[in-house]
Amino acid sequence: MHTITFLGTSAGVPTRTRNVSALALQLENSKEWMLFDCGEGTQHRIMNTSLSAYHLSRIFITHLHGDHVYGLCGLLASKGMQRCESALEIYGPPGLRELLENVMHLSQLNLPFDLKIFEISEGTLLRYEGFKIDVVALSHSIVSFGFVISFDDRPGHFDAEKARSLGIPEGPLFARLKRGESITLPDGSTIEGSTLVGPPTRGKRIVIGGDNDAPLLFAPYAPFDLMIHEATYTQADFDRLPRKFLHTTAKQLSLAAEQMGVDHLILNHISPRYDKNDRISELLDEAKRYFSGKVDIAYDFMQIGV
């Protein structure tokens, strides 16, 4: 099972209990992990988990607002101090390369590992072993992206007992049958692997959204097992704002999630006003009025399995 750890769940500025945006995804049966956004102080949050910057392999930045990116250079410097030599990939919007290269040059940050910076755009498709990531352009005051992570289907259950009853010895022949291949036994009979393997299990699909006031932009990739998306305000608070910001409300997000067939919805990027006045329940209550699936509000160090 893959593990998601919320490292920062506040919008704009940190609070006493929430840091600014960052989220970790650790791959199943591996020390390797990936980071989505890196607000100021993210490396301090990492130090309070079982994660290690040494095993961080990829970073994905949704957009270049400070609460999503100001912790990046400090994290790179600390990773370098650990004498890590494996390459680190960073993906983000145009301007990311200029930002990093200027800070590294002016602060004389020399890294012992190869830093690979990729500037992404709408429609970018990233493929890795076991999963792929679609990049989705969002609606915000600055170029902002979301990431749809689709894990590969898992092979169906292999009926080892039936294979033994057919006289097939364990070992390489079992492995071939598990892959769905056909084998020929010494007596000349042929066994089709498909007769011993059940139907595949559909790979999970999750959404990690950047700042965005139009969650239905993810609809072409629906349905989703898990959607993590900002819900910065309740609808009533947003309606009272003298200046409107391009953020999503709990109502707006929940209506969209219901339409897209989301199984589990997690509200993230929470305005500090709800922490200061102990009003978190207002966001959750609003979401539950418009979404019939499982819904939670993210908090720092919250972990879920995928």
Token pair belonging to 43 = 């490396």
pLDDT at 172 over 90: no
Over range 197-208, report the average pLDDT: 89
Where do the DSSP E strands lie in 187-282?
Answer: 190-192, 205-208, 226-230, 264-268
Q: What is the pLDDT of residue 271?
A: 97
Mean pLDDT for the stretch of residues 168-184: 80
Q: What is the mean pLDDT of residues 73-102?
A: 95
* Residue 293 in this model has a pLDDT that exceeds 90: yes
Mean pLDDT, residues 98-119? 96
Confidence grade of residue 202 (pLDDT, cut at 50, 70, 90): confident
pLDDT mean across residues, the chain:
93
Q: How far apart are CA 157 and CA 134, in angstroms?
A: 29
pLDDT tens per residue across span 140-163: 999 999 999 999 988 788 778 888
pLDDT above 80: residue 99: yes
CATH dotted code for 3-154+201-305: 3.60.15.10
| Mean pLDDT within 70-86 | 93
From the list 37, 67, 134, 213, the catalytic residue is: 67
Q: Given this model, what pLDDT does residue 48 score?
A: 96
- Residue 150's φ and ψ, nearest 5 degrees, are -115, 115
Separation of first and last alpha carbons in the chain: 6
pLDDT of amino acid 29: 86
The CA radius of gyration of the chain, in Å to the nearest whole number, is: 22
CA distances from 262 to 70, 147, 221, 256, 303 (A): 31, 15, 11, 9, 19
Domain ranges of the chain: 3-154+201-305, 160-195
Higher pLDDT, 278 or 236: 236
What's the pLDDT band for 176 if we cut at 50, 70, 90?
Answer: confident
- The whole-angstrom separation of Cα 56 and Cα 182 is 40
Mean pLDDT value of segment 192-206: 84
For residue 171, pLDDT beyond 90: no
Q: Is position 67 annotated as part of the catalytic site?
A: yes
Q: Say what the pTM is.
A: 0.89
